[in-house]
Structure 1
């Protein structure tokens, strides 16, 4: 089950809201836990024991770390906890990749006996690791309530595709979830915006990207025009798909009185790859910074070790996304640009005109998406070759079949909403409101009716289109 399916929107969510607001306030953590476990089971019931084992094991380890903080036993327990979590993630997600990449493993009797990785395993495992490390460092106290801890790891709005929440961020809402009317209104508005991003923009542009990235494009060999249209579509699709999910998760969190971290800050306005990673998937990039890059020495070591640290971090960042060489290369691609931006060439680029720096960052990120989207390295190589082939023989077919009026409208909306347009909309609302009571009435009506209109349009799109799961739900 996903956040944008009719089953979730019209059955699960009303039932969860009803139980949350009707039952006594002291029962709310239990309602959230029950809703989260039911949500997870409806998505992948066979993975429920693995999630339960992670919850119980990390809860017990947290209490033990609290009692042994600063001692050799505490350091041993932390190492044990980190190893157990990483091993769980590796066996569930990467064993098949390791067997295929290392031919000697089958000869030693190692085989990929696991099926697909459990839903959201990368997200809840990284949350568990951050919790154990924060408890060990003394940044937070270990949770004494198994119910609250279980909600922290399994909270249903974020279990499938994040964001990766720190325990300190969620704790106030877990202790006493008391959302008010303003929280409910702001949360439902945020949810409606996220659903519209997913269905109206990402859902519309997805088929355009799929057609270009298909192993056998219907219009014949991939030409330059089709390749760029497909890459532009995927660049918009992955942003609005993932940021749409984040908006829905953050909005639902606020409705239930639980704070979730922001995950995006208009990444496509970046003027460098380093800035891009301060704006894209913020919860993941800060996790790698705080729990891997800084422990490796961060930027305080020699330049050679800094470059090594960056490459190590981004190779692992690529692998976090999936067990495929394409993700490894994607991680190396970004790591290489981050290394480059710390050299003399990066300092020269910092002095270039803003438009040139923006074009550089956007081109670097978009070419990186080729590896991220491709099924294998061979397809990625063919796609990159097509981008610079200067052949346009299939463009007319693509334009007729894929670039519909709806797709062009989605491209336009993607361009507008990739920019920080919120300030412009607020400024426009303020200008209209200054016209007096009629203007204030228009602004009030727009703020009240816009979320409902977005929800209606999104549901209509869902009813008319083909179901497409969130891209990051498979990570």
Structure 2
């Protein structure tokens, strides 16, 4: 069963989470019960695909051993080589799942949500290296974080320390009432975005573009804008479902979208679109690369270092989406956009060619919107067919 993919899924959730709501409104702790609910829901999600369920179990055991083992090691030593090997070992299952379809008809290493679970596990190893995670983590709490079912499929990607803080926070009945209210609002927002607006764009607009010749410029233009809005409402709707259910379970999962189509530039866009993913790549790829290059003093020019970081970040993001040509080109496209904007931003600080006023802000939003939509057109692969 696909998470949030049918009304029956929501009906099952309503039944399973009813005790959570009752306990929460009474100001009582409910995380132990929610852990049991997570196991039950995961069993329902993977009930139709045994190989995926087995892969999930093996993956979880592997990551738990890596995380717990590295936390114990970090208390005694801090070898860069051991850290690098631990990170590689953590992302190894994801790499297998990405490359295996090209060598085998059965991808036994893949399962629903492997990417987002890998991001959470790898992040814990990195934060342990940084000294942000110092103490051993109880097994049940680590498993709950990794396998937290509302966000398992497509995020948002949470951070362990923020997640753990929510679990430790004492909630009164009034506190939980506000969480419940916001959670229900999020779920209704998800229905509006995904099943009304997103569905309407896909069913009544994109599906009917076939009446125009496929190679017609007008058809491609319509598709570019239609697909961009569909992608946003579908994905933002899913994220709203995940966040809403998280709230009901007493966990304030991070937001994933913040009005991305009013972004004033590409940096602003990536601070608004799929925020948990873009912030993950920013913190654990870009910032580490820049810090490492600065520390080694291999490149003294900060702008060059920053631009190389953007290229690395978006190439990895493109390859993460898949090895198909459209995803790689999409990554290259955004890398070039970020490099160009970074160069323009630095140049404009000296020459003051582009002032900050209402007119330039409107022009910036319109320009960024069209540039972003063309990127989604590349991502869709529609032009290939």
TM range (shorter): 0.7 to 0.9
SS where residue 265 of structure 1 aligns? coil
Note closer, same or farther for the CA distance 1:175–1:37 as it changes in structure 2 (3 Å cut): farther
Note closer, same or farther for the CA distance 1:355–1:43 as it changes in structure 2 (3 Å cut): farther
The structure 2 residue matched to 1:378, chosen from 370, 377, 384, is 384
Matches for 1:46-85 after TM superposition, within 5 Å: 46-69=51-74, 72=77, 75-85=80-90
Which of the two has higher C-alpha Rg?
1
What are structure 2's unaligned runs of at least 5 residues?
24-28, 295-299
Judge conservation of contact 1:36–1:154 (CA < 8 Å) in 2: no
Note closer, same or farther for the CA distance 1:124–1:137 as it changes in structure 2 (3 Å cut): same
Equivalent residue number for residue 231 of structure 2: 238
Of residues 342-351 and 356-365 in structure 1, the stretch that sits farther from structure 2 once superposed is 342-351
Once the two structures are TM-superposed, the CA of residue 365 in structure 1 deviates from its matched residue by: 0.5
Once the two structures are TM-superposed, the CA of residue 33 in structure 1 deviates from its matched residue by: 3.1
SS where residue 297 of structure 1 aligns? helix
Equivalent residue number for residue 14 of structure 1: 14
> 1-side partners of 2:30 and 2:208: how far apart?
50
Equivalent residue number for residue 374 of structure 2: 367
Judge conservation of contact 1:19–1:31 (CA < 8 Å) in 2: no
Matches for 1:331-346 after TM superposition, within 5 Å: 331-344=331-344
After superposition, the C-alpha distances for 1:108-164 in whole angstroms (9 at most, x for unaligned) are xx6565268311111111111101111222112455322221221121111011011
Moved over 6 A (4+): none
Once the two structures are TM-superposed, the CA of residue 184 in structure 1 deviates from its matched residue by: 1.2
**Quick one: higher RCO (CA 8 Å, sep 6+), 1 or 2?**
1
What are structure 1's unaligned runs of at least 5 residues?
100-109, 380-475
Q: Is 2:268 aligned against 1:271?
A: no
Matches for 1:71-470 after TM superposition, within 5 Å: 72=77, 75-96=80-101, 99=102, 111=104, 113-114=106-107, 117-142=110-135, 144-175=137-168, 178=171, 180-207=176-203, 208-212=205-209, 217-297=210-290, 302=301, 303-344=303-344, 347-348=347-348, 350-351=354-355, 353-374=360-381, 378-379=384-385
> 1-side partners of 2:183 and 2:141: how far apart?
21
SS where residue 7 of structure 1 aligns? helix
> 2-side partners of 1:115 and 1:87: how far apart?
14
> 1-side partners of 2:99 and 2:72: how far apart?
34
Q: In angstroms, what is the RMSD of aligned CA positions?
A: 2.7
SS where residue 68 of structure 1 aligns? helix
Equivalent residue number for residue 420 of structure 1: none
SS where residue 138 of structure 1 aligns? coil
Judge conservation of contact 2:224–2:377 (CA < 8 Å) in 1: yes
SS where residue 94 of structure 1 aligns? helix
Judge conservation of contact 1:264–1:280 (CA < 8 Å) in 2: yes
Provide the aligned length of Structure 1 versus Structure 2: 361
> 2-side partners of 1:117 and 1:297: how far apart?
32
Judge conservation of contact 1:20–1:32 (CA < 8 Å) in 2: no
Note closer, same or farther for the CA distance 1:21–1:186 as it changes in structure 2 (3 Å cut): closer
> 2-side partners of 1:116 and 1:234: how far apart?
31
Note closer, same or farther for the CA distance 1:229–1:193 as it changes in structure 2 (3 Å cut): same
SS where residue 342 of structure 2 aligns? coil
Equivalent residue number for residue 390 of structure 1: none
Once the two structures are TM-superposed, the CA of residue 175 in structure 1 deviates from its matched residue by: 4.3
> 2-side partners of 1:290 and 1:360: how far apart?
27
SS where residue 107 of structure 2 aligns? coil
Judge conservation of contact 1:32–1:151 (CA < 8 Å) in 2: no
TM-score, normalised to structure 2's length? 0.85
After superposition, the C-alpha distances for 1:402-443 in whole angstroms (9 at most, x for unaligned) are xxxxxxxxxxxxxxxxxxxxxxxxxxxxxxxxxxxxxxxxxx
Once the two structures are TM-superposed, the CA of residue 74 in structure 1 deviates from its matched residue by: 5.6
> 2-side partners of 1:284 and 1:6: how far apart?
27
Of residues 125-134 and 143-152 in structure 1, the stretch that sits farther from structure 2 once superposed is 143-152
After superposition, the C-alpha distances for 1:282-323 in whole angstroms (9 at most, x for unaligned) are 111111111111111169552333222211110111122223
Note closer, same or farther for the CA distance 1:147–1:62 as it changes in structure 2 (3 Å cut): same
> 2-side partners of 1:354 and 1:27: how far apart?
49
TM-score, normalised to structure 1's length? 0.69
